Amino acid sequence: MKIIDSHQHFWQINRGDYTWLTPELSAIYQDFLPTDLSPQLEQAGVCKTVLVQAAASVAETDFMLSLADQHDFIQGVVGWVDMQSEDAVKQIERLSQHAKFKGIRPMLQDIADVDWILQDQLAPVFDALLKHKLRFDALVLPKHLANIKTLIERYPTLPMVIDHAAKPDIANNEIARWQQSMTEIANFKHVYCKLSGLVTEAGDSPSAAKLQPYVNALVNLFGAERLIWGSDWPVVQLANTSYQEWLTMAKSLLVKLTPEQQQQIFADNAEKFYQL
């Protein structure tokens, strides 16, 4: 089976723009670069990846694009721009000149104001994304989903994907409200969802059994046509889970699907959504 990783990160701590990355996160408080991931991709049979921002800086986006220039397996880059800045539209225009630049991801989960994304002043940025045929990765928590629904209604042709299934509180078995909110998102048939980041929401002992109800819900809501597998490497290591272990678990969680459906989730949908 062909496998594409729709969601992985690299970082170099001495760059200084990863404000969230502290020594307390000991499992991932070190540099992670293409030479660290490449052998794991080979072992796992992953042919290409989408590299996603981990810092709120345009400089990091340029850094990621430079890595993509050097490593063929990086087929797409989802970056960051300061959506409130006067030059945000110009930055998007500049970045869009790079063939591997696929879209932006504001770090909404870290912004205190849940209504931030609905500000009128951000409209030119969304218009620029549409103009340059770019995508929007929604890094959100369940509390943001009502506003994401409003955003989808406001920009009905903007390609959007919900990162990490909006990070349900799996550790505390909270599923009902999350599922209801995700149902409203899934009703928009152009919106995708990433099957990623779940093990890090599952508490001290993440297991397939603990994740299965959430994965079943996602399959029922989005179908195999709109789910996209991603590793969330190296953040996945916070759950004491390796790249290969999460991939193996994800395959087991989807084992009841047909081979064709599994192929959609593990490769085809990433290619389609990000135009890899």
pLDDT digits (tens, 9 = 90+) for 140-157: 999 999 999 999 999 999
Angle, CA of 66, 72 and 78, to the nearest 5°: 55
Strand partners, 228: 194
User: Could you tell me the residue ranges of all domains in the chain?
Assistant: 3-274
Confidence band of 11 (pLDDT split at 50, 70, 90): very high
**Residues 37, 77, 47, 160, CA torsion sign:** positive
Q: For the CA atoms of 82, 86, 87, 93, what is the dihedral angle to 10 degrees?
A: 90
Tens-place pLDDT, residues 154-184: 999 999 999 999 999 999 999 999 999 999 9
Q: Which two tokens stand for residue 154?
A: 């406001």
The architecture of the domain spanning 3-274 is: Alpha-Beta Barrel (3.20)
Give the Cβ contact number of residue 224 at 10 Å.
18
The pLDDT value given to residue 204: 85
Whether residue 83 is predicted with pLDDT greater than 90 in this model: the reply is: yes
Whether residue 12 is predicted with pLDDT greater than 90 in this model: the reply is: yes
- Among 3, 15, 18, smallest CA distance to 195 is for 3
Mean pLDDT of the 179-195 span: 98
Look at the pTM and tell me if it is higher than 0.95: yes
